[in-house]
Amino acid sequence: MSEIIDRIVAFQPVYRVLHREENLDFFRDVLGLKVLMEEGAMVWLGGHEAKLDRFQLEESPGLRSVNGYKKHSRTVIKAATSEIEQLLARDLEKVAKVYRGKSGYTFEAVSPENDVFLVTAEELTDLSALTEIEKSEVNVVRDKDFKGLSDFVISEIDLNVADKEIIEFYESVFSMKTIDGVFDFPFVSLKLSVADGEDVSAATDETFDLEFLIFMIDKMFDLEAFSAQFEDVDGTYLDASAKTFSLEVPSHVELWFVK
């Protein structure tokens, strides 16, 4: 396994959105997340008790909606069974689909920017065994004191790419091969699928889509030496203190490695 993989301590995706409050209503009410901090155009989201940054939104007026497939296909959020039940009890009408699995209910919800989120207590290996059910079959009792998810993790992100060359670029960054387009990192599963769409290769500052993936790195890791491997790659940046390195995946998203 690549040395960089062993030194990653946290992971966050960043999504571009149009109307901040409309999107925050979705993330707070439907997904049960808590706004931890807002600064400028950025919003950090996490759980109500753990209060760890899990992902970010960037309000980006002036961009446009995606035509056809998005780069971001789906994000899988893993949470506690009892808390998923409470989300359904609170806002069942706002979810798109409901499933039943080994660990209870799972639901799929679609954001105002057409980003798909699957909220589940299942292991990734059990997702294929989920059975879709009618909303009328959901039987839960609402707890009026429930505020939202106490904590959660992003267990999988599914991304669309224009061609296999992009998958190979990701493999070169992490010095590991995918299995059927899937990176099984210790901290998240990253699934890459080739899709035919005019905006799958759009610039990150053009559409409402996944903007970049942030990998938080152990402070002792030599980020400068890591960045030197990509001297011949366009679209790289290393800050003066060698604590942040960004890398543009050609015709896809940006990868940020941050101490």
β-pairing, 55-59 vs 8-17, is parallel
- The percent of residues in the chain predicted with pLDDT above 70, rounded, is 99
Query: Residue 3 — pLDDT band, cuts 50, 70, 90?
Result: confident
Q: pLDDT tens digit string along 86-135?
A: 999 999 999 999 999 999 999 999 999 999 999 999 999 889 999 999 99
What would the DSSP string read from start to end of 210-255? EEEEEEEE-TTS-HHHHHHTTTTSSSEEE-TTS-EEEEEPTTS-EE
Q: What pTM was estimated for this model as a whole?
A: 0.94
> What's the pLDDT score for residue 1?
44
Query: Residue 54 — pLDDT band, cuts 50, 70, 90?
Result: very high
* pLDDT over 80 (residue 2): no
Q: How far apart are CA 229 and CA 160, in angstroms?
A: 26
Query: Residue 145 — pLDDT band, cuts 50, 70, 90?
Result: very high
Compute the average pLDDT of residues 24-36.
98
Please report the domains of the chain, with CATH numbers, ordered by start residue. Answer: 3-258 (3.10.180.40)
